[in-house]
């Protein structure tokens, strides 16, 4: 960054010609006169939005995708809806203004899936080339939906795919800033952009997530791109070359990290990736701890399982060098996805606490304080505005290492919850980033309320203690606090200050006093 190694300098990147740019804004006549290219200068782009029961955010993502600056005849918006939610009541006046508010027809029972279809039809009525696609089952989850979406005839005309999850809202110039990399560099398969979080200040949990993801994007993704090395696809906010996807064998649903799977197979075919950190796409962080745990299980279990399944394939690859294989296997997979969680938990939450019971074990001060402090400060540079939270963040990351190491072991052993896919819950917090009037102008809000259940209401089941709390975190936290008391009264090694606050962090998470309570 200090030497100005921006992607625009290292790769060929030229903005769309003046005539084409005019066409992108909808001025077709100006586009045909100025520059002579018009919309024909644009490649055909498919914008995919996979979603599953996204009642809170589906309008935002569809609206943002339909507002992208690109000629209407050169872009296809494809909404892949796997929703299975029950029926709701909708005020029909919000869909058909001609209906009087007091009319008996003003309310109409409708499935949540149909709400998405109605929204797509509304944009289609405005001239947007949008397709609403459903399938008969959820086989393969997100990978299955994306794979099925590429089978439609109209996709054959598309060269590139822009992918956005249901809570992602790209800026209107997203395609204008990313697609030129693919147009002018035929060896690039993927342009990955950065995530921007609309609810990072909602609670301490979202602040911690922002710090971790800022480090991931600013350092891990940026470094991989700058040195022309491999870095993973984040599953959304990226643009793919369709021919590269086909060359890699398409989407596969053998793991819960279909995005990483595709990226690794594409890299083994010799394709390049570029990360453009200057382009940011708004998204929502999970603000409940339950949703965050499910997400982290998938993000930790999936890579470990993929590492096991692709080890031989990576070693046998002929199109990448030995050093590229070493980087992929050792740096990316083994260290980044397995060893990091293992070392963090075993060292900070097992070895140090247990050492107080053995006087002959003396951990050097540099191993307890100096090196961890330097590493922590370096990682915290990714989020300068949250630097004052760095100690709390480290304690929280140590707690989460317990959950991640269990997920990684599950993935390596290919057992238990290895293929569990729980969609991350979105609460629609993206609405808070804009004034209500602006949101209403952009997308007319449908008044939604739950209708009478389609099945008799079930009796409330008594929640068991081990379902209500996170017992593993409570157990580990209690053990660490006990070690702290032993060190304070008997061992006198001076570890008790750290042990007390780390044990307390485990207990806080164990009793779920972090994040917000869902409505």
Secondary structure of 359-410 as H, E, C letters: CCCCCCHHHHHHHHHHHHHHHHCCCHHHHHHHHHHHHHHHHHHHHHHHHHHH
Annotation marks residue 259 as catalytic: yes
Residue 339 to residue 342: CA distance in whole angstroms? 5
C-alpha 311: how far from its chain's center? Answer: 25
Q: Which of 57, 13, 14 is nearest to 284 (CA)?
A: 57
Catalytic residue among 259, 261, 429, 487: 259
- C-beta separation of 506 from 477 below 8 A: yes
Q: How many CA atoms within 13 Å lie on the side-chain side of 356?
A: 26
Annotation marks residue 487 as catalytic: no
Strand 448-450 and strand 238-241: pairing?
Answer: unpaired
Axis-axis angle for helices 371-380, 390-413 (nearest 10): 90
Strand 87-91 and strand 107-111: pairing?
Answer: antiparallel
In the three-class reduction of DSSP (H, G, I as helix; E, B as strand; rest coil), residue 220 is classed as helix
In the three-class reduction of DSSP (H, G, I as helix; E, B as strand; rest coil), residue 170 is classed as coil
Return the structure tokens found at 420.
């569990």
Residue 468 to residue 387: CA distance in whole angstroms? 33
Catalytic residue among 82, 114, 167, 261: 82
Active site residues: 82, 259
């Amino acid at each position: 960054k200090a030497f100005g190694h921006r992607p625009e300098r290292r790769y060929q990147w030229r903005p769309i010609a003046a005539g084409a740019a005019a066409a992108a804004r909808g001025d077709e006549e100006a586009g045909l006169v100025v520059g002579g290219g018009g919309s024909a200068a644009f490649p055909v782009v498919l914008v995919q939005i996979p979603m599953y029961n996204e009642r809170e955010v589906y309008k935002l993502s569809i609206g943002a995708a339909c507002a992208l600056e690109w000629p209407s005849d050169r872009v296809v918006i494809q909404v892949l809806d796997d929703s299975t939610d029950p029926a709701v009541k909708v005020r029909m006046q919000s869909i058909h203004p001609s209906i009087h508010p007091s009319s008996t027809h003003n309310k109409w029972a409708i499935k949540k899936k149909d709400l998405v279809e109605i929204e797509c039809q509304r944009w289609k009525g405005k001239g947007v080339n949008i397709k609403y696609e459903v399938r008969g089952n959820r086989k393969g989850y997100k990978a299955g939906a994306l794979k099925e979406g590429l089978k439609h005839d109209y996709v054959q005309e598309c060269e590139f795919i822009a992918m956005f999850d249901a809570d992602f809202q790209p800026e209107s110039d997203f395609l204008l800033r990313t697609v030129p990399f693919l147009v002018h560099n035929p060896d690039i398969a993927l342009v990955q952009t950065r995530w921007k979080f609309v609810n990072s200040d909602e609670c301490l949990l979202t602040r911690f997530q922002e710090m971790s993801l800022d480090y991931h994007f600013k350092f891990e993704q940026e470094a991989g791109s700058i040195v022309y090395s491999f870095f993973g696809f984040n599953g959304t906010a990226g643009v793919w070359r369709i021919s590269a996807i086909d060359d890699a064998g398409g989407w596969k649903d053998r793991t819960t990290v279909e995005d990483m799977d595709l990226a690794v197979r594409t890299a083994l075919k010799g394709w390049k990736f570029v990360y453009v950190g200057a382009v940011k796409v708004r998204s929502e962080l999970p603000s409940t701890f339950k949703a965050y745990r499910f997400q982290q299980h998938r993000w930790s279990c999936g890579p470990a399982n993929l590492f096991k399944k692709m080890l031989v394939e990576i070693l046998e690859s002929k199109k990448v060098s030995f050093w590229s294989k070493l980087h992929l296997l050792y740096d990316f997979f083994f260290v980044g996805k397995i060893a990091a969680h293992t070392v963090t938990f075993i060292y900070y939450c097992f070895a140090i606490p247990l050492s107080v019971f053995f006087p002959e074990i003396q951990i050097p001060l540099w191993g307890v304080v100096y090196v961890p402090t330097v590493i922590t400060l370096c990682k915290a540079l990714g989020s300068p505005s949250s630097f004052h939270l760095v100690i709390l963040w480290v304690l929280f990351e140590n707690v989460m290492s317990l959950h991640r190491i269990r997920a990684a072991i599950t993935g390596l052993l290919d057992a238990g919850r290895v293929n569990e896919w729980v969609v991350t819950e979105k609460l629609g917090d993206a609405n808070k980033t804009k004034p209500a009037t602006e949101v209403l102008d952009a997308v007319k809000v449908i008044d939604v309320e739950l209708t009478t259940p389609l099945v008799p209401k079930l009796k409330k089941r008594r929640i068991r203690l081990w379902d209500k709390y996170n017992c593993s975190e409570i157990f580990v936290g209690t053990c660490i606090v006990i070690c702290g008391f032993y060190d304070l009264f008997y061992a006198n090694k001076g570890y008790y200050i750290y042990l007390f606050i780390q044990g307390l962090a485990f207990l806080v998470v164990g009793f779920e006093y972090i994040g917000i309570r869902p409505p």
